[in-house]
Structure 1
Amino acid sequence: MTDLIKHQGTVENIVGTHVKVRIVQTSACSSCSAKSFCSSSESKEKLIDIYDADTSSLHLGQEVVVYGTTSMGMRAVGLAFGVPFLVMVAALFVLYRLTGGDEAVSALGALLTLLPYYAVLYALRGRIKRRFSFQIETTDK
């Protein structure tokens, strides 16, 4: 069985089979009983896009549960942080060798290798958005 990441939310918009759901993302300490005495608790509202959803039983303002797999979250972290780190470290070593040991130029060049990486991610955002799709289910209340 796959682990699921679930959030309760409210349907904000329905266009065909595309649904936007507003969720409240909270930090771990937001449910703590001492949160009123602490300034570290925080929560944010986010809009989640769900594609190819069965919208026949949905209406605006309805409470729903949005879920995705933890593997989807790990892939997102890998694309956003893991791959760029590896690209940057590899470029640093290659540039260090090519520049004859000039650390400043190597470091700057390694940082600049991230620009094309993130440009490619941006260009492929539509395809990536479909791969990282959430599912929706209605709450039975």
Structure 2
Amino acid sequence: MENKIKHVGVVESVVGECVKVRVVQSSACASCKVAKQCNTSESKEKIIDIYTKDNRYSAGDRVNVMASYNVGFLALSLGMLVPMLLMLVVLFAMLATGYSELISALGALLSLAPYYFLLFMFRGRINRKVTFDIELSK
């Protein structure tokens, strides 16, 4: 079994070593036959920047975009798991020290501001770890 997450996409543009690929991200039920009539199905288009030294891609090419499960877990952790844990720790710490529930909830929400600021400051380092591979689709 291959240890990769794969999506099919279309090359939007190529600028230097950056290939911009449009990928349709869909929910699990979007492929259902009655998805157009159902309000619960959704799909979104995402543009992914992939840096490669391979210059064989051009606009309109169908490609496979791949990432390892470790990269997916890192992105999920930084985007959802760490912020949730940070909020819970701040919330319970503030409740334990005697703050009201309203103030504790606000403190938990405000604790996300420095976290996301740090993510912004270290985005270059994160971009080097969260990488995608690309190959022409067959």
**TM surpasses 0.5:** yes
Cα 1:120/1:43, change in 2 over 3 Å: same
State how 1:46-57 maps to structure 2 within 5 Å: 46-55=46-55, 57=56
**Distance in structure 1 (CA, Å) of the matches to 2:43 and 2:100:** 45
Paired position in structure 2 for 1:125: 123
Cα 1:16/1:39, change in 2 over 3 Å: same
The answer to whether structure 1 residue 63 and structure 2 residue 65 are counterparts is no
Q: Deviations over 1:47-97 (max 9, x none)?
A: 111013412x21221111111112211211111111112212222233234
CA contact (8 A) 1:6 1:68 kept: yes
CA RMSD of aligned residues (A): 1.9
**Distance in structure 1 (CA, Å) of the matches to 2:39 and 2:93:** 45
CA contact (8 A) 1:53 1:135 kept: no
**Distance in structure 2 (CA, Å) of the matches to 1:59 and 1:109:** 49
Taking only the aligned residue pairs, the percentage that are identical comes to: 48
How far apart are residue 127 of structure 1 and its match?
Answer: 2.0
CA contact (8 A) 1:91 1:113 kept: yes
TM-score, normalising length: structure 1: 0.85
TM-score, normalising length: structure 2: 0.87
| Structure index of larger Rg | 1
State how 1:22-101 maps to structure 2 within 5 Å: 22-55=22-55, 57-98=56-97, 100-101=98-99
How far apart are residue 22 of structure 1 and its match?
Answer: 0.9
Give 2:15's aligned amino acid. Answer: V
Number of residues of Structure 1 aligned to a counterpart in Structure 2: 138
Give 2:22's aligned amino acid. Answer: R
